[in-house]
Structure 1
Amino acid sequence: MHSRRKEGRWPIFEAANTVILGVSADPVKAQDKFKAKHQLDLPLASDEDKAMLEAYGVWVEKSMYGKKYMGIERATLLIDATGRVAKTWPKVKVEGHATEVLEAAKAL
């Protein structure tokens, strides 16, 4: 989920017993700079070895200008209290996304 759009909704997600966590392959120091630059209060996890990203299927082959490379496909995964992926939103579109995720979380 795109974090800046949801910052005003954190209490609503917390009331739904939902934790939001951003994950990237960047080192913690780079994440800290990113959070400061964009004034984010979203907790971020660093997955430099890409184990979690690969396990959740979001470390994928991408292509730009005919060149192939590995990178993160922006996605939202709703993980239930048992650790099971309850719902996945691949290739996230920001508009209305937080509301959709919140409704799905409340339905768990």
Structure 2
Amino acid sequence: MSKDSLKAHDKFIRDQGIPFTLLSDPDTTMMTAYGAFGNKLLYGKTALGVIRSTVVVGPDGTVMKHWTKVAKADAHPAQVLDYLQKR
């Protein structure tokens, strides 16, 4: 999920060949509820913005796993995949 528009998501899905739906939250309501939008430290200053995190939501809508802060974006997909494969 991101603040990007549905149009931007559609283009990104097409360009990257992503086989799943991306969610758009331009007013940040849901991202704020998940702790993925708010105050963060940016270059030594507090700023309001998107906080990189990952939430795995189960088929019944419950949160199965929540990484509240993703520090190393390049290594994170492997962590998520490992978690999902062990489920």
> If the length of structure 1 is used for normalisation, what is the TM-score?
0.59
Q: Matched residue pairs, number? A: 84
Q: Give the distance between the partners of 2:49 and 2:8, measured in 1 at CA.
A: 16
Q: Is the 8 A contact 1:58 1:72 kept in 2?
A: yes
Q: Which has the higher contact order (CA 8 A, sep 6+)?
A: 1
Q: Is the 8 A contact 2:2 2:24 kept in 1?
A: yes
Instruction: Give the structure with the larger helix fraction.
Output: 1
Gaps of 5+ in 1: 1-22
Q: Is the 8 A contact 1:76 1:92 kept in 2?
A: no
CA 1:69–1:85 in structure 2 vs 1: closer, same or farther (change >3 Å)?
same
Instruction: Give the superposition deviation at 1:67.
Output: 5.1
Q: Give the distance between the partners of 1:83 and 1:92, measured in 2 at CA.
A: 26
Percent of paired sites with the same residue: 35
Q: Aligned-pair RMSD on alpha carbons?
A: 2.6
The answer to whether residue 47 in structure 2 is matched with residue 69 in structure 1 is yes
> If the length of structure 2 is used for normalisation, what is the TM-score?
0.69
Equivalent position of 1:45 in the other structure: 23
Gaps of 5+ in 2: none
Deviates more, 1:91-100 or 1:71-80: 91-100
